[in-house]
């Protein structure tokens, strides 16, 4: 069974760049190099889910239009992990950030989720 | 606001049937793109409840069902139980702006 684990600083300062990593573990069929899309979803405290973006094993990524220009998602197949970078953060970016796996199509659901990491943006 | 529109809250008594709607448009649900549903119990990670409009992953009770028609989709829960009290989210894909995942704003289900 594939497992995903987010890691990164829990507190960052406004205007800085948020950087998170999701490490994938499991058998070889579950690796980053397998034919899946890997995504980031966030949830501000007390609010709903917001999709941030997703990346394929090739490195091809697509993003939420509302975040385009500030976000980048990359994949590291050698380390079996993928990363999120969100620049110029403000208090509105305070949220629990989840990494998740879907399938080989952009229209698939997210079937496996990490436990989430709370990132707080302070001024 | 979310691209997919859900009612903020619904409620029902134990044993009753409730439905949660998810309204989209011709660039997502109406374009024939699949709808998925998630359940998020208080303080937990979202879990996939329904995929591809009306399919249940292993382990999801058959009290949960999904449907889609036109530009909207619905999640139905029959035989409501106290443990169903949670937030529910719909998801689809939108063909506009180079394509992107879209999520509903979420619906809080209260079991009375």
SS3 call for A36 = coil
**How high is the mean pLDDT of chain A?**
95
What is residue B23's predicted lDDT score, i.e. its pLDDT? 98
Residue B25's pLDDT band (boundaries 50, 70, 90)?
A: very high
- pLDDT band for position B9 (50/70/90)? very high
Give residue-wise pLDDT tens across range A17-60: 999 999 999 988 888 988 899 999 999 999 999 999 999 999 99
**Per-residue pLDDT, A95:** 98
Query: For A107, which residue in chain B has the nearest alpha carbon?
Result: B93
- CA–CA separation, A19 and B108 (whole Å): 31
| Rounded Cα–Cα distance for residues A6 and A20 (Å) | 7
User: Following DSSP, what letter does each residue of chain B receive, concatenated?
Assistant: --SBB--SEEEE-TT--EEEEEE--TTTGGGT---EEEEE-TTS--EEEEBTTTB--TT--TTEEEEEETTEEEEEE-S--GGG-EEEEEEEEE-STT-EEEEB--EEEEE-
Residue percentage of chain B with pLDDT more than 70: 100
Q: Percentage of chain B with pLDDT > 90?
A: 95
Give the residue from B44, B75, B89, B101 with the most A CB atoms within 10 Å of its CB, the best one to mutate.
B101
Inter-chain contact B57–A111, Cβ cutoff 8 Å? yes
The percentage of residues in chain A with a pLDDT greater than 90, rounded to a whole number, is 89
């Amino acid at each position: 069974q594939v497992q995903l684990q987010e890691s990164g600083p829990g507190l960052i300062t406004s205007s800085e760049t948020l950087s998170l990593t999701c490490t994938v573990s499991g058998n070889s069929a579950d690796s980053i190099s397998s034919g899946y899309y890997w995504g980031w979803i966030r949830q501000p405290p007390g609010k709903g889910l917001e999709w941030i973006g997703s990346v394929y094993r090739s490195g091809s990524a697509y993003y939420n239009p509302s975040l385009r220009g500030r976000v980048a998602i990359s994949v590291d197949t050698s380390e079996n992990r993928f990363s999120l970078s969100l620049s110029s953060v403000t208090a509105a970016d305070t949220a629990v950030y989840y990494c998740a796996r879907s399938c080989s199509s952009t229209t698939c659901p997210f079937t496996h989720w990490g436990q989430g990491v709370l990132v707080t943006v302070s001024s | 606001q979310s691209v997919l529109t859900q009612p903020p809250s619904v409620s029902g008594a134990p044993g009753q049937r409730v439905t949660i709607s998810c309204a989209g448009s011709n660039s997502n649900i109406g374009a024939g793109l699949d709808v998925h549903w998630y359940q998020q119990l208080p303080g937990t990670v979202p879990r996939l409840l329904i995929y591809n409009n009306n399919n249940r992953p292993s382990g999801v009770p058959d009290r949960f069902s999904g449907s889609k028609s036109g530009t909207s989709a619905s999640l139905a829960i029959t035989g409501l139980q106290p443990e169903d009290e949670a937030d529910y989210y719909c998801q689809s894909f939108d063909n506009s702006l180079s394509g992107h995942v879209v999520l509903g704003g979420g619906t809080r289900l209260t079991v009375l």
